[in-house]
Structure 1
């Protein structure tokens, strides 16, 4: 090395420059500087570090094993460092979730829908189920004003039956009534007047159905009793609602009258005998299933993990026929192979109901067939009551969960 006061030769300058550039590149590769690999990526790129879990541990992490006695490995591993010793990062990553999460619609109709939610945690799937049952609002009959009821159905039972009839109207067009006066924006009024005429010598019966409920767009027709005897007789008589305008004059209802559509028309309310009569008014308001089940928009909604049926060995001929006949839902099928032999195949694994009939023979059965469930793949089913289509219900559930998350974030910040 030359002294400070002595100039270096040209060869010494090149040697020192090369050593400085090498040391800089080494420090950058270890610290993640520039465009080189970061510290964790550098360690994971070393040849002796495992890059993924062993197959048996990967199965335990992603599958539920349904043995003959009980399922095992049912829990989901949430801890980010659970597999750190094996070089597996188990932490939740938003980019990974966006890449892998998807929804595939398998069946759709006006009343129900079945779709697959893939790449989601069980807690989120259950959150959607609970929101659909208890927090998506609908319109339902809350108050029943009975003027006459001579049927065999008691008043309180009749009111309860009316409340459970789904109304074909979009609840998003209405406001919550709360303690406000009933108006055209928070209340729907229906009238029911059914009578079974008495004819001498005949035994008549009349069935009262949901289509006998007639929508009153101008509000209640039952007068509100007033104790003031000095009230002005020329003023407009007060009713149980205070509509400022007719509901059928509003643009959302002008060409879409409120009522009961399709199969909802045939819901039976009561059956009248000769001379019996029902006259009443029913007032519907907006609410959620958490308050009462009549506001729940779904008949039911549920999910199950995707079944996975794996043959651990070749099953042929007589044993194949035996296992196929054991399955009540037809998961297995028989395939013809060479020399007249037959082989068992898994044709419809999605239909598996986990009855375990194929593994009832103890250890021998479990050695042939493995029944599993995929932990992050859910078959979700929604059955609508008829108020809203099932796809709209799920979209509303997503919006409610989003608003809950925003509320938590705002409260924490």
Structure 2
């Protein structure tokens, strides 16, 4: 069903790369590119072939988010990057809260939880991890102070919405207290929250909050406050294939177009229907077209198994284009650790005998 004038790569229309999207189920979800699946075909992993098929292209980039296509990898690899982005890319977050005075209506524990969730614009690569037994130093700890008191403003303009100073306690009220060499190291960009408008509490006149905050380096699998992303997700690239042997009737062209996301189906003069491949990635795969019996056999809905549309929203110091590269670094470190452990195991005396014994047991 591929069009000769298609702007998509010809390999996109290879049925082996397709995941079938049907009315009530999804088919062909398992990867088949491994040795022995197809007779007389060698699908053993090859680095040169992998480099040729691997593609990464940025489609949208803003100050806090990025959308890019990752093509040519298995779903297990794409999902590994997603999980690393959420749980294993380190950031800085407030871990210890020392409450000297809190006369607001918010309990100390709730206030500490809110403070811990404030994303900090601090490069975690400048700090070391700190365990419970480590002594706080300028290399593993950041110190902030929050000392505000709600007071009546004597010269407040008549009719102003607020007559009080510090009626709302916001993240911008956090004051960084340099320790050791930090004042020199962070002279160009002092540590601060990424968003200064986060409301932490509301105070009445005379109420006060005075706390000291210690931020340390951590990862999201320990607590969500160390997540570097607001979200990190992917979806398979959609593919809509029209059946040339059963065209859409002209009087149903508009109804057919409304079954898809806006811009995906183009209705030309005379009621001729075509797919706008530039907008194909916008298709939500609602399967609405499969509910109408008059369109049965006219169209096929597919997804491309190894074409992932990634969306990452940064909520930390990292720029959105840096986050995926950081996940690659974490992945490489994991692979290096596994390789080092395997080499150490092989180097031990009697390793060959143990391996042979394991093979015999597996065969039995």
- Do the structures match in fold with TM over 0.5? yes
Alpha-carbon distance change, 328 to 392 in structure 1, aligned in 2, over 3 angstroms:
closer
Aligned residue for 2:220, secondary structure, equals coil
* Contact 1:135-1:288 within 8 A present in 2 as well: yes
Query: What's the TM-score once normalised by structure 2's chain length?
Result: 0.83
2-structure distance, mates of 1:320, 1:88: 43
- Is this contact kept in 2: 1:192–1:214, CA < 8 A? yes
Looking at structure 2, the residues matched to 191 and 346 of structure 1 have their Cα atoms a distance apart, in angstroms, of 58
Q: In structure 2, what is the equivalent of residue 343 of structure 1? A: 272
Correspondence for 2:7: none
**Structure with bigger gyration radius:** 1
Quote the residue 1:390 is aligned against.
320
Structure 2, unpaired ranges of 5+: 1-10, 155-161, 344-364
Residue of structure 2 equivalent to 1:185: 139
1:353-392 per-residue CA deviation (whole Å, 9 max, x = no partner) reads: 1111112124x53411111000010001111103211221
Q: How does 1:114-125 map to 2 (within 5 A)?
A: 114-125=67-78
> 2-side partners of 1:246 and 1:170: how far apart?
15
SS where residue 328 of structure 2 aligns? helix
Partners of 1:199 and 1:274 within 8 A in 2: no
SS in structure 2 at match of 1:211: helix
Residue in structure 2 matched with residue 400 of structure 1 by the alignment = 330
Shift of the alpha carbon at 1:109? 1.5
Residues 261 and 282, structure 2, Cα contact 8 Å, conserved in 1: no
Cα displacement string for residues 338-361 of structure 1 (whole angstroms, at most 9, x for unaligned residues): xxx121111221111111111212
| Counterpart-to-counterpart distance in 2, 1:75 and 1:58 | 15
Hey, what's the Cα distance between the residues in 2 that align with 1:289 and 1:376?
27
Corresponding residue for residue 236 of structure 1: none
Moved beyond 3 Å, runs of 4+: 202-205
Matches of 2:202 and 2:115 in 1, distance apart? 14
Question: 2-side partners of 1:112 and 1:365: how far apart?
Answer: 38
Which of 284, 291, 294 is residue 222 of structure 2 equivalent to? Answer: 291
| Structure 1 residue corresponding to 2:235, chosen from 282, 289, 304 | 304
Between the aligned partners of 2:296 and 2:92, the Cα distance in structure 1 is 51
Paired position in structure 1 for 2:128: 175
Correspondence for 2:38: 83
Q: Which residue of structure 2 lines up, in the alignment, with residue 213 of structure 1?
A: 174
**Cα RMSD between the aligned structures?**
2.0
* Contact 1:67 1:366 survives alignment (8 Å): no
Specify which of 74, 78, 101 is matched with residue 29 of structure 2: 74
Give the number of aligned pairs.
Answer: 319
Name the structure 1 match of 2:257.
324
In structure 1, runs of 5+ residues without a counterpart are 1-54, 219-244
